[in-house]
């Protein structure tokens, strides 16, 4: 059984930040499996795109990561369809969504990237799954970025955000 540890009556979440090699990573513990002891964290990454001129363009990636004992990597989850098997409560899913949004805001405020691309990992996502990406695009817009309408590329969607 999965136990979501986000919230616990608080409006804040615990986050770790790692920086290096042109990447900034925010890791937010969200819970654990009681039977195996595996932990699950939300991971939000802002990384430089290699080969992009002056290095100011970044890629935003987010996912859930399951880790086993001794921090042995078990699995990456990019799709809410995969996570519903253990993250079944709508309230828990909303808390995870909110913490990912909070991590994106933190990255925007601290890194202040000039240009950011974001692309779906899974092809042919339903509208409900695309709404997570649209929420992130709205965060960029609220922070003053110009957000290009998403276009489909091989059934994956791309958003581009740029400071005016």
Residue-wise pLDDT tens digits, 32-46: 999 999 999 999 999
Q: Write the pLDDT tens digit of every residue in 45-64.
A: 999 987 766 767 899 999 99
User: b or e along 57-79 (b: 16 or more beta carbons within 10 Å of the residue's beta carbon)?
Assistant: bbbbbbbbbbbeeeeeeeeebbe
pLDDT of 82-125, one tens digit each? 899 999 899 999 999 999 999 999 999 999 999 999 999 988 98
In a 13 Å sphere around the CA of 40, the CA atoms on its Cβ side amount to 24
* Measured CA distances, 66 to 12, 61, 80, 129 (Å): 22, 16, 14, 20
Phi, psi of 27, rounded to the nearest 5 degrees? -120, 125
Q: How far is CA 112 from CA 117, 142, 149, in A?
A: 14, 13, 21
Q: What is the pLDDT of residue 22?
A: 84
Q: What percent of the chain stands above pLDDT 70?
A: 94
């Amino acid at each position: 059984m999965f136990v979501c540890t986000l919230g616990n009556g608080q409006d804040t979440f615990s986050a770790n930040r790692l920086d290096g090699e042109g990447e900034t990573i925010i890791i937010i513990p969200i819970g654990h499996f009681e039977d195996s002891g595996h932990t699950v964290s939300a991971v939000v990454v802002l990384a430089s795109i290699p080969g992009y001129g002056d290095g100011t363009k970044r890629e935003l990636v987010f996912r859930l990561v399951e880790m086993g004992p001794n921090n042995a990597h078990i699995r990456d989850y990019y799709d809410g369809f995969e996570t519903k098997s253990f993250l079944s409560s709508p309230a828990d899913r909303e808390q995870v969504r909110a913490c990912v949004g909070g991590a994106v805001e933190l990255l925007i405020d601290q890194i202040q990237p000039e240009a950011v691309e974001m692309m779906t990992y899974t092809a042919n996502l339903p509208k409900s799954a695309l709404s997570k990406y649209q929420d992130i695009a709205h965060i960029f817009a609220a922070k003053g970025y110009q957000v290009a309408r998403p276009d489909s590329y091989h059934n994956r969607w791309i958003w581009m955000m740029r400071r005016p």
